[in-house]
Amino acid sequence: MKRWRIALIGALVLMLLAGAIGYGMWRKLFGRGPGPQVDRELLIPTGADMEQVLDSLVAAGLVTDRATFRWLAGRKRYTARVKPGRYVVAGGTSLNALIDRLRSGEQDPVRITFTNIRTLPQLAGQVARQVEADSVALLQAMTDPGTIAGLGLSPETMIGLFLPNTYEVWWTETPGAFIKRMKREHERFWDPQRMDKARTIGLSPMEVSILASIVQAETAKMDEAPMIAGVYLNRLRIGMPLQADPTLKFALGLDSVNRVLDVDKRVDSPYNTYTHKGLPPGPINMPEPGFIDAVLNPARHDHLYFCARETLDGYSNFARTYEQHLVNARRYQRALNARGIYR
Query: Does a structural domain hold residue 227?
Result: yes
Q: How confident is the model at residue 216 (pLDDT cuts 50, 70, 90)?
A: very high
Beta bridge partners of residue 41, listed in sequence order: 88
- At residue 128, φ and ψ (nearest 5 deg) are -60, -25
Which range among 91-105, 273-287, 324-338 has the greatest average pLDDT? 273-287
- Residue 18: is its pLDDT beyond 70? no
Is residue 97 domain-shared with residue 126, that is, in the same domain? no
Q: Domain tally for the chain?
A: 3
**Residue 34 is part of a domain; what is its CATH number?**
3.30.1490.480
Closest CA to 90 of 29, 42, 132: 42
Query: Does a structural domain hold residue 46?
Result: yes
- Residue 177: is its pLDDT beyond 60? yes
Q: So what's the pLDDT on residue 17?
A: 43
Is residue 246 domain-shared with residue 279, that is, in the same domain? yes
Is residue 275 domain-shared with residue 199, that is, in the same domain? yes
Model confidence, pTM: 0.85
Beta bridge partners of residue 40, listed in sequence order: 89
Q: So what's the pLDDT on residue 70?
A: 93
Range of the domain at 29: 25-104
What's the mean pLDDT when you consider all of the chain? 88
Query: Does a structural domain hold residue 98?
Result: yes
Q: So what's the pLDDT on residue 276?
A: 93
Is residue 133 domain-shared with residue 148, that is, in the same domain? yes
Q: How confident is the model at residue 237 (pLDDT cuts 50, 70, 90)?
A: very high
Note the pLDDT tens digit of each residue in 88-147. Answer: 998 888 899 899 999 999 999 999 999 999 999 999 999 999 999 999 999 999 999 999
Query: Does a structural domain hold residue 206?
Result: yes
Q: How confident is the model at residue 85 (pLDDT cuts 50, 70, 90)?
A: very high
- Residue 235: is its pLDDT beyond 70? yes
Is residue 211 domain-shared with residue 292, that is, in the same domain? yes
d(Cα 163, Cα 320) in Å, to the nearest integer? Answer: 33
Yes or no: say if 129 and 142 are a contact pair by the CB < 8 Å rule: no
Is residue 176 domain-shared with residue 121, that is, in the same domain? yes
Which of 154, 189, 224 marks a domain boundary? Answer: 189
d(Cα 233, Cα 298) in Å, to the nearest integer? Answer: 8
Is residue 118 domain-shared with residue 176, that is, in the same domain? yes
- Residue 36: is its pLDDT beyond 70? no
Query: Does a structural domain hold residue 311?
Result: no
Instruction: Write the CB contacts of 8 (distance below 8 Å, at least 6 apart in sequence).
Output: none
Is residue 99 domain-shared with residue 122, that is, in the same domain? no
Is residue 200 domain-shared with residue 289, that is, in the same domain? yes
E-assigned strands of the chain?
Answer: 40-44, 85-89, 110-114, 165-169, 305-308, 316-319
- Residue 258: is its pLDDT beyond 80? no
Q: So what's the pLDDT on residue 26?
A: 43
Which of 189, 223, 250 marks a domain boundary? Answer: 189
Query: Does a structural domain hold residue 2?
Result: no
pLDDT (average), residues 181-205: 97
Is residue 117 domain-shared with residue 176, that is, in the same domain? yes
Query: Does a structural domain hold residue 201?
Result: yes
Is residue 185 domain-shared with residue 208, that is, in the same domain? no
Yes or no: say if 271 and 284 are a contact pair by the CB < 8 Å rule: yes
Q: So what's the pLDDT on residue 162?
A: 97
Which of 75, 104, 133 marks a domain boundary? Answer: 104
Q: So what's the pLDDT on residue 343?
A: 55
Query: Does a structural domain hold residue 82?
Result: yes
Is residue 177 domain-shared with residue 225, that is, in the same domain? no
- Residue 22: is its pLDDT beyond 70? no
